[in-house]
C-alpha cells in the first residue's frame, strides 16, 4: 500500500540540516579563531603548540562535534523507523541504525577527546597530547566516515530495492558509501587522507537529500518507477 501520510516522527531534513550546521559551523568558528589544526602525521611540536595556545577554538570544535553526534544518533533512529514504516522488512533498517549509532558514537568520542585536549593540565604532556590527538583523528576521521558509509549503504540499498528513493539518488548513495569504506585505507596509506573530508561532506549532504525524499509522502505506483 502506497505511503500517503507524512512521517510523524522527527523531521529527517531538520535533523540532518542541524547536524551539518552544528558540525561545520563549529569547525568554521574554530578555524576562524585559531587557524587550521595541524595534521596528526607530522612532528608533535606544532600539535602541542596549537592545543596550548588555542584552547578555545579546540573546545568550540569539540563541543560542536559532540552536539552534532546527538542529532546524528536521532537521525539514525528516525530513518530506521521510517524505513520500517515504508515496508522495508529485511535487515536494512537494523543496519542503518547500527551504522548511524557507530557514526554518532565515534563523533561523540571525538568531541570528548577534543575537549580533553583543550585542558591546560593535559597540553603540557607531550606523549599524552600526541596520543589524544591521534585518537581524535582516527575516531573522528576514519571510524566516523566508515560508519557513515554503513548508514548510507543501508538506506540507499533499501531505497533502491523498494523504489523509495529515485534511482540516481540511490545509486549515488551506494557510490558515496563505497567511498566512505575506502577511507579505511587511510590507516595503511596516509596519502589517501584527502578522501576523509570529501567522503564526509558527500555523506552528510546525501543524508540531507535522502531524508527529504523519505519524508515526502508517496501517492502511487508511478512514483516507484
How far is 147 from 102, CA to CA, in rounded Å? 6
What is the structure's pLDDT at 223? 37
Residues whose CB falls within 8 Å of the CB of residue 186, separated by 6 or more in sequence, listed in order? 141, 142, 192, 193, 195, 196
List the one residue out of 105, 92, 82 whose CA is nearest residue 3: 82
What is the structure's pLDDT at 42? 79
- Asked if the model's pLDDT at residue 201 lies above 90, the reply is yes
Span 156-178, average pLDDT: 95
- Asked if the model's pLDDT at residue 1 lies above 50, the reply is no
pLDDT for 64-93, tens place per residue?
999 999 999 999 999 999 999 998 888 999
**Band of the pLDDT at 221, cuts 50, 70, 90?**
very low
- Asked if the model's pLDDT at residue 176 lies above 90, the reply is yes
SS (H, E, C) the chain: CCCCCCCCCCCHHHHHHHHHHHHHHHHHHHHHHHCCCCCCCCCHHHHHHHHHHCHHHHHHHHHHHHHHHHHHHHHHHHHHHHHHHCCCCCCHHHHHHHHHHHHHHHHHHHHHHHHHHCCHHHHCCHHHHHHHHHHHHHHHHHHHHHHHHHHHHHHHHHHHHCCCCCHHHHHHHHHHHHHHHHHHHHHCCHHHCCHHHHHHHHHHHHHHHHHHHHHCCCCCHHHHC
Cell of 181: 569504506
List the one residue out of 127, 131, 110 whose CA is nearest residue 66: 110
What is the structure's pLDDT at 208? 96
What is the structure's pLDDT at 219? 46
Amino acid at each position: 500500500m502506497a505511503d500517503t501520510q507524512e512521517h510523524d516522527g522527527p523531521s529527517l531534513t531538520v535533523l540532518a540540516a542541524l547536524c551539518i550546521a552544528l558540525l561545520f559551523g563549529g569547525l568554521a568558528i574554530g578555524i576562524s579563531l585559531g587557524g587550521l589544526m595541524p595534521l596528526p602525521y607530522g612532528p608533535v611540536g606544532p600539535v602541542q603548540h596549537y592545543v596550548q595556545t588555542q584552547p578555545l577554538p579546540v573546545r568550540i570544535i569539540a563541543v560542536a562535534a559532540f552536539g552534532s553526534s546527538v542529532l546524528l544518533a536521532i537521525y539514525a533512529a528516525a530513518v530506521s523507523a521510517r524505513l520500517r514504516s515504508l515496508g522495508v522488512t529485511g535487515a536494512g533498517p537494523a543496519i542503518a541504525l547500527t551504522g548511524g549509532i557507530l557514526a554518532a558514537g565515534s563523533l561523540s568520542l571525538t568531541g570528548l577527546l577534543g575537549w580533553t585536549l583543550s585542558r591546560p593540565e593535559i597540553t603540557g604532556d607531550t606523549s599524552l597530547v600526541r596520543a589524544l590527538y591521534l585518537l581524535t583523528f582516527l575516531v573522528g576521521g576514519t571510524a566516523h566516515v566508515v560508519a557513515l558509509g554503513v548508514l548510507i549503504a543501508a538506506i540507499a540499498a533499501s531505497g533502491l530495492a523498494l523504489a523509495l528513493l529515485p534511482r540516481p539518488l540511490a545509486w549515488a548513495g551506494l557510490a558515496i558509501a563505497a567511498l566512505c569504506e575506502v577511507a579505511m585505507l587511510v590507516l595503511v596509506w596516509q596519502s589517501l587522507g584527502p578522501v576523509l573530508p570529501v567522503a564526509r561532506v558527500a555523506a552528510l549532504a546525501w543524508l540531507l537529500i535522502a531524508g527529504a525524499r523519505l519524508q515526502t509522502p508517496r501517492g502511487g505506483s508511478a512514483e516507484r518507477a
